[in-house]
Amino acid sequence: MAFLDPPDAQARRTRYWIAAAAVLATTSVITLFLIEHRYGYSKPDLKIIYAQSWKADRTREDAIADAKATREAREAKLAEAKAYIATLSGKAKADAQKQLDDYVAGGGFSKDLPYVAAQPSVVGIVRVPAEPPPPEPPIE
């Protein structure tokens, strides 16, 4: 049972190892804080995914009408871009056409216009009265 009562030299040596480990741990934590402060923490880029919510009584015809409205909106935006490119000339026209082709190939219109409702599903909460309210009677 000598391990319960170690000699003074061994106890001192154990204390030195414990002190060295404590200093090393403290130094490493402080160093990491300083490195983080200097260079900053780069958070990962978040990818936000939006989900469309529909009424519970949505019919297939409503879904088809929404898909048609979305397609028409995308085609209108594409036609607007093509009409603008048609007004250009020379190198500017070629550059603009290349930029549009890259945008379309990358799914740009699908990202910009992911969904267009055929009919708005939300009724306005604030309604303007047809006539102004009657004046309040004076306080006596």
C-beta of residue 100 within 8 angstroms of C-beta of residue 85? yes
3-state secondary structure 19-49: HHHHHHHHHHHHHHHHHHHHHCCCCCCCCCC
Q: In this predicted model, what pLDDT tens digit does every residue of 108-120 receive, in sequence order?
A: 777 776 677 777 6
- Is the pLDDT at 123 greater than 60? The verdict is no
**Bigger pLDDT: 18 vs 126:** 18
Residue 13 is encoded by which pair of tokens? Answer: 């040596």
Q: What is the pLDDT of residues 2-54, one digit of tens each?
A: 667 777 888 888 899 999 999 999 999 999 999 888 887 777 778 877 677 77
Helix axis angle, 91-105 to 60-87, nearest 10° = 160
| pLDDT for 23 | 97
Domains of the chain, by residue range, sit at: 7-39, 60-112
Q: Which string of b and e fits 39-52 if b means at least 16 CB within 10 Å?
A: eeeeeeeeeeeeee
Q: What is the DSSP letter of 98?
A: H
